[in-house]
Amino acid sequence: MQSLLSLLMKQTIRVAINGRLYEEDVEPRLLLSHFLRENIGLTGTHVGCVIGECGACSVLLDGKVVKSCLHLAVQADGREVTTVEGLAKNGELNPVQEAFVKNYAFQCGYCTPGMVITSYALLQRNPNPSEEEIRKALAGNLCMCTGYVQIVEAVKEAARGSK
């Protein structure tokens, strides 16, 4: 009975989000995507499919891209989360964000935060990716509005700017 009760009780988590430490009581079943949006108020992380297929909810967890709809908030305890809001510094967009704007790499914009996070992570580990590498990295992020041409061009431009 104790284990069932512990599943229902709130747990306190401490998580660094975009460089700021948060301590919150959460239900063990709360998804990280909902925690970010509802508890913290960071609505850049979009919730699309809630089954890990679309990538709209992509964030960085300890520097690695994860789909926040597949992670529980309690799994972020003691870790670092970066959302699309955390890429901008001192009011200046990150070069990836700038390249997405300049190349009109969005239509409705719903997938854009996940695309930006995934592109940023790619360029962190590979500052000069080929088009094939870009397309492979973005394969876990779906866009229903574009043909991905502008998105790929934005990543290429961000890569050229990071040299």
Q: What are the structural domain ranges in the chain?
A: 2-87, 95-161
CATH of 95-161, one of 1.10.150.120, 1.10.600.10, 3.40.50.2300, 3.90.1280.10: 1.10.150.120
Cross-strand bridge partners of residue 82 = 60
Q: What is the value of pTM for the model shown?
A: 0.92
Third-level CATH fold of 2-87: Ubiquitin-like (UB roll) (3.10.20)
Judged against a pLDDT cut of 60, whether residue 36 lies above it is answered with yes
User: Rounded to whole angstroms, how far apart are CA atoms 89 and 101?
Assistant: 16
Q: Do 2-87 and 95-161 show the same overall fold?
A: no
pLDDT in tens, 87-96: 999 999 999 9
* Per-residue pLDDT reduced to its tens digit, 114-141: 999 999 999 999 999 999 999 999 999 9
**How many angstroms separate the CA atoms of 106 and 98, rounded?**
12
Cα–Cα distance between 93 and 47 in angstroms, integer?
Answer: 22
Residue 17 has a CB neighbour count (10 Å cut-off) of: 20
